């Protein structure tokens, strides 16, 4: 069930906007720029009223998995801790790619630059 290549709709129950911002604010540096930026792209896509409901459910599942405190590889595990989260996020991005707009990418890039500095 905790296979990062499978996005289970049950994980969407773990998603809340507050939970996402809490996770990002506490773990941004250890998760790394790539995980944070990709998670933010999904967040901004899900916040867009034009994004179809099915795509939002996929996004909420991936972000719910990211927020979940216990997952396949615990987030506090050095080096590998967020690799399963990145896998779930990357799969969601690939699945909903047709609904990712340049505005979503730009908003994520701007927020990531605030936290990490310019790339």
The more confidently predicted of residues 85 and 14 is 85
Rg over alpha carbons for the chain, rounded to the nearest Å, is 13
Is 96:55 a contact under the CB 8 Å cutoff?
A: yes
Q: Is the pTM of this model over 0.85?
A: no
Q: Residue 15: pLDDT band by 50, 70, 90 thresholds?
A: confident
* pLDDT 10s digits, 51-74: 999 999 999 999 998 887 665 555
Tell me, what's the pLDDT at 86?
A: 87
Tell me, what's the pLDDT at 77?
A: 53
Q: Which one, of 67, 63, 54, 71, lies nearest residue 89 by Cα?
A: 63
Tell me, what's the pLDDT at 16?
A: 86
Tell me, what's the pLDDT at 8?
A: 45
């Amino acid at each position: 069930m905790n296979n990062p290549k499978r996005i289970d709709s049950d994980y969407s129950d773990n998603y809340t906007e507050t939970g996402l911002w809490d996770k990002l604010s506490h773990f941004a540096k250890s998760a790394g720029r790539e995980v944070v930026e990709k998670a933010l792209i999904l967040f901004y896509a899900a916040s867009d009223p034009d994004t179809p409901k099915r795509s939002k459910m996929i996004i909420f599942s991936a972000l719910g998995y990211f927020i979940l405190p216990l997952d396949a590889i615990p987030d506090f595990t050095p080096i590998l801790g967020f690799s399963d989260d990145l896998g779930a996020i990357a799969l969601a991005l690939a699945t909903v790619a047709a609904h990712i707009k340049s505005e979503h990418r730009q908003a994520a890039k701007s927020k990531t630059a605030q936290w990490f500095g310019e790339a």
